[in-house]
Structure 1
Amino acid sequence: MKAIRIALLAVGVAAATQAQAVGVGVRAGTNGIGGDIGFSVAPTLLARVGYSYLNYSNSIEQTDVKYDGKLKLSNASALLDWSPLGPFRITGGFIFNNNKIDVTGTPTGGSYTLNGHVYPASAVGSVAGEVTVGNKAAPYLGIGYGNVATTGVNFYFDLGVMFQGSPKTSLNATCGSAIVGTPACTQLQQDTAAEQAKLSDELKRFQYYPVANIGITVGF
């Protein structure tokens, strides 16, 4: 019984010691700007949760069409850091992401082409598209340096891959007043669907999203 009490006391002391290994971090990278909270669950194992966010807008003109694009990064992470070699670590877990790209195309003059067919500007109201990730809960595997829960102020980085699956696309076009209710409007919708199929096929190779983050931690 005495041995059992000593063992239980040792476990309690170890748990209390590990409970003190807590830290927070702020970071920036390909997932956006965000932060992490981490705590030790074993001498070489750290549990980490985080969130990143970023909005970016840009406009370009190409072939008489103005494209307004909005990149929206929004993702939460649940990760385990295994550090068998000091500050160097292997990280795995899941990134729950809602990343997407919204694009709106508006003719600026003349005409533009959809699926090989040329449409005058008056025939098209606008073209809008969206690209979202295939896996909302994307497995993540990577390497890194630094422990969020290390006492004091330190830096850390992550380098890995998020398996987000084949991106999902949507593409919609509105008919201009000049062709509403005519066969040309139907043809425009068919050509838009064909362009969406092409886009989906082209984006299949983007199943893997590179993750690179660097940040500063404060451990307690």
Structure 2
Amino acid sequence: MKLIKLTAISAAVLASSAALAAEPVIVVDGNDAVVYEAEPVAVAYQAEPVAVAYEAEPVSYAYNPDAGVVRNTTGAVVGGTKGFFTKVINPASVSAEVGTLGYGANIGWSLNEKTELQAGWAGGDVADLLGGDFDAGDVNYDVDSDFSNPYLGVQLRPTGNWFTMGAGIIVPDNDIDVTANADGGFFKIDGQQYNSAEVGTLKGTMEHRNKLAPYATIGFRPNITNNFGLFGELGAAYMGKTDATVRATDPNSVVNYIDANGTKLTTTAGKVASKAEGELEDKDWLEWMPIVKVGATYRF
């Protein structure tokens, strides 16, 4: 019975406070006092650590030598070529023109609001536009022409309105045929009169020496609607000096004439033609080719 009581009391004391576990416990049973040194009971609750870790993948911005490298070079070349030809076959404008260079047309590509590249051609028989005839010395010549003037140039709108300035290069290939007209039955060449009946017909050709002719113009290009506009230009192209060739129908035909001293002399039709040729080259006809043209433009 004492053992049971002792056990119950000991359990109660031990359970009441874990803090007293290290100090002696005195139990009184009747007249006897018994000292019990209780072993400390450690009640530990070890919680399992819950570790929530978020491991972020490192983000590094490092130089990649392969970045931007085109692997499909064939596709890139073809794509770039398509882009180029798309721009070429989709110009900013097309124009029709008529003027001293001939009848023609041009195509324009706009680089910006003030600058436009142009490629065009003008030609045909424009002799009537140039007057149809001209004088070299004392001889009048009828003109028959076949012009071909491809050109490349740039049109500028320096003030951003209708006023324009142009410059570029012409590649002239102009055939100019001339026929001398007798005056009163005579050709007066180099100060000397020759009987036109003895000389016969004098015909020739003229060709400018420049294979590339720079030009410059000023003009106006007002817009009538969003798509249609008109233009006019004035300027000149430097065609260079002229090479001429003049031939007589019968170069061996004898021609009689009287010189300034009243002496009667003879020559040949071929020699008369050579003198006429020299006068034509000295004339430098259209060394500076005037440019006067008007036209209409359609803008895309």
TM-score, normalised with respect to structure 1:
0.72
What pairs up with 1:52-71 in 2 under 5 angstroms?
A: 52-55=122-125, 56=127, 69-71=143-145
3-state SS of 2:158 partner: strand
- Structure 2 residue 246 is matched with structure 1 residue 168: no
Q: Which has the higher strand share?
A: 1
What does the per-residue CA deviation read over 1:145-167, in whole Å, with 9 as the maximum and x for residues that have no partner? 2289x950111222211111122
What pairs up with 1:1-220 in 2 under 5 angstroms?
A: 19=87, 22-55=92-125, 56=127, 69-87=143-161, 88-105=163-180, 112-115=187-190, 116-119=192-195, 121=197, 123-146=198-221, 151-175=226-250, 179=254, 187-203=268-284, 206-220=286-300
Conserved 8 A contact 2:113-2:160: no
Range with greater deviation from structure 2 (170-179 or 134-143):
170-179
**1:106 & 1:208 partners in 2: Cα distance?**
25
Give the AA of the match of 1:75: N
Q: In the superposition, relative to structure 1, how do residues 196 and 152 fare at CA in structure 2: closer, same or farther (>3 Å)? A: same
- The two structures, once aligned, show a CA RMSD in angstroms of 3.8
Deviation for aligned residue 1:135: 1.4
Conserved 8 A contact 1:21-1:151: no
**1:193 & 1:86 partners in 2: Cα distance?**
54
Q: In the superposition, relative to structure 1, how do residues 197 and 110 fare at CA in structure 2: closer, same or farther (>3 Å)? A: closer
Deviation for aligned residue 1:132: 1.9
**1:105 & 1:89 partners in 2: Cα distance?**
40
Q: In the superposition, relative to structure 1, how do residues 43 and 120 fare at CA in structure 2: closer, same or farther (>3 Å)? A: closer
Q: Answer 1 or 2: higher relative contact order, Cα 8 Å, separation at least 6.
A: 1
TM-score, normalised with respect to structure 2:
0.55
3-state SS of 2:249 partner: strand
Q: In the superposition, relative to structure 1, how do residues 190 and 151 fare at CA in structure 2: closer, same or farther (>3 Å)? A: same
Deviation for aligned residue 1:196: 1.4
Deviation for aligned residue 1:99: 2.5
**1:43 & 1:208 partners in 2: Cα distance?**
31
Q: In the superposition, relative to structure 1, how do residues 190 and 147 fare at CA in structure 2: closer, same or farther (>3 Å)? A: same
**1:77 & 1:30 partners in 2: Cα distance?**
14
Give the AA of the match of 1:79: G
Give the AA of the match of 2:114: T
Equivalenced residue count is: 199
Gaps of 5+ in 2: 1-62, 69-82, 256-264
Give the AA of the match of 2:158: P
**2:252 & 2:235 partners in 1: Cα distance?**
49
**1:59 & 1:160 partners in 2: Cα distance?**
21
Give the AA of the match of 1:189: G
Gaps of 5+ in 1: 6-14
**1:202 & 1:66 partners in 2: Cα distance?**
12
What does the per-residue CA deviation read over 1:58-116, in whole Å, with 9 as the maximum and x for residues that have no partner? 699xxxx9965313232111111122212322211111222332123487995545542
**2:186 & 2:158 partners in 1: Cα distance?**
61
**1:193 & 1:147 partners in 2: Cα distance?**
50
Higher alpha-carbon Rg: 2
